[in-house]
Structure formats: structure tokens, C-alpha cells
Amino acid sequence: MAAWSPARHTQLLRQTKLNNHLIMQSNTDNAFAYWDGDDHLRIADFVGEWQAAFPAFRVFGNQDVYPLLDKYSPRHVDLFKAMRLPSAKSDVARLLLLYELGGLYIDCHFGLRSRSGIDDIFRKLEEGLELIVVDRARSIAPRPIDEYYFINGVIFARSGCPLLLMCAFQALANLECHRTFERLWGHTNYHVAMLSGPSVLTSMLLDPRYVTRSLRTKIRPDYAERLAVIPEESIPMVRNVHSSYRVDGRHWSERQLTEKLFEE
């Protein structure tokens, strides 16, 4: 397999477009989550709430992601399987699932405020937008009023949106690089959010001329008319409603301090 490079990145995108003929669809009744493991009892309340609003709501798992990796980036199937932290797997899984299926991806801790509010956002996809992302609440991450910092716990998208696959490829490239570091030196400082999570989404969606810490203010020009940003304060769902599945000391932000990201 050829090593990742910018040229290879572009080639993969072109091959994907030619080989799969994926037509962008809004899929406005498709809402889903991802869970690493077969035991869904820990997220039963979350699933029950969302299935009441979206009868077809589904929680995807690793067995659903492997075929997508094999389809779009087969050299990374083993890398995905070797990841120890579910949060990193989830970062990649949501991007591939959204690219393939479209709809709404939601993290398992989010509670539902308003089904009609979600329908209002879905209508924006029906009207032609390809991607709708959420800007992190300023009470959580204070910053200048015009500076973006997207979350990846809530994403609305049309299937086949190229930016989703670009983000997935970038996350996989970052993770592959870190795996090399761990093979050479063991546990090496890392931050999941920067390798595969919200920081990847933020950097890939913004104009590269405006991505310094104090100037994350402009959407990339080729998507300025195809992407919408919603403040977290106004979205029809709320974070940390279903957080009973969390175990003290096992959050990714704690585990990454002492654990390697990959199991070799």
C-alpha cells in the first residue's frame, strides 16, 4: 500500500467518487449513534429516548464500520481495530457512517429537546446544504465571538458530502502517525480531540488562511454556501443528559494521560 500523502489523499477522493457514484441525499429521517461494544444496557435510556422520536434510530458498532473502512480506506482496517480508546474509534466511525448514510449523528450522552427543532435543521439539508455543524458553547470554551470551535458530537449531513471523507482521511492519517510514535517510543503524549476529534473537524472546515488560535473565523471558501453553523446554545438537544454509562477514571481525557492509544 502507498503511504499517505497529500497527492494520495486527492487520488483517494477521486477514486471514491468514480468507483462509488455516491449521490448526495439529505436522509432527513436518519438519526444514529455509535457504540464500541455489544452491551447497550449502559445506554438504554439514551436509545429509548431517541427511538421514541426516531423509530428507525440505530446504534452502529464496529461490525458496521469495518466494511466502510474496507471500502474507503482498506489499509486502515487494522489501525481501527488496534485502537484502545473508544472515543478515537467513534471519531472515525461517525464520519464514515455519515458519508455513507447521511442524516444526524449524535453522541450517546445527548438528550433530546425537540424533534420539531431537529426537523427544522433537516429542512436545511433538503434545501441544499451539505453539512451542518455545531459551534461549541462559549460557556464551555470561552473565545472571541467570531471564533469557531466545532463539536463533533452532533453533525447533520447529506450522504456523500466530500468534506466528511476528507475529515476521516485526515483523522486516520493523524492516528497512523501517532501509532508510529508509539511503536518507536511507547506511550507518547497525545490528545484524542486533536488527532481525530473536534480539532480535525474545525481545521478541515475552516479557511486555512484563518486557522490560528485567534483567527478561526472563516469557513473555507469552497463550502461557504454549502455549510451552516449553529451555536450549541440553540440546538434542539443538550449534552450530558445520558452520562450514567461513564466510569470514573475511564474518560478518554483521563486515559490518554497514561495509556497508549494502540494495542499492539
Asked whether residue 142 is domain-assigned, the answer is: yes
Domain membership flag for residue 211: yes
Fill in the DSSP letter of residue 137: P
Phi, psi of 58 (to 5 degrees): -140, 145
Q: For residue 93, is it within any domain?
A: yes
Residue 7 resides in a domain: no
List the pLDDT tens digit at each of the 264 positions of the chain. Answer: 444 444 555 555 455 444 444 556 656 679 999 999 889 999 999 999 999 999 999 999 999 999 999 999 999 999 999 999 999 999 999 999 999 999 999 999 999 999 999 999 999 999 999 999 999 999 998 988 888 999 999 999 999 999 999 999 999 999 999 999 999 999 999 999 999 999 999 999 998 776 565 557 789 999 999 999 999 999 999 999 999 899 898 999 999 999 999 998
What CATH number should be reported for the domain holding residue 188? Answer: 3.90.550
pLDDT on residue 145: 83
Instruction: Please tell me the total count of domains within the chain.
Output: 1
Q: Residue 248's domain spans which residues?
A: 24-255
* Any domain includes 11: no
Q: Are 163 and 219 in contact (CB under 8 A)?
A: no
Instruction: Tell me, yes or no, whether 71 lies in a domain.
Output: yes
Q: Is residue 13 part of a domain?
A: no
CA within 13 Å, CB half, 196: 29
Which cell goes with 2? 502507498
In a domain, 166, yes or no: yes
Per-residue pLDDT, 22: 52
Task: Output the pLDDT for position 198.
Answer: 96
Report the DSSP pairing between strands 237-238 and 58-60: unpaired
Of residues 206, 232, 228, 226, the one with CA closest to residue 218: 206
Residues listed for the chain: 264
Q: 0.85 cut: is pTM over it?
A: yes
State the pLDDT at residue 146: 82
The amino acid present at 246, given as its one-letter code, is R
The pLDDT value recorded for residue 144 is 84
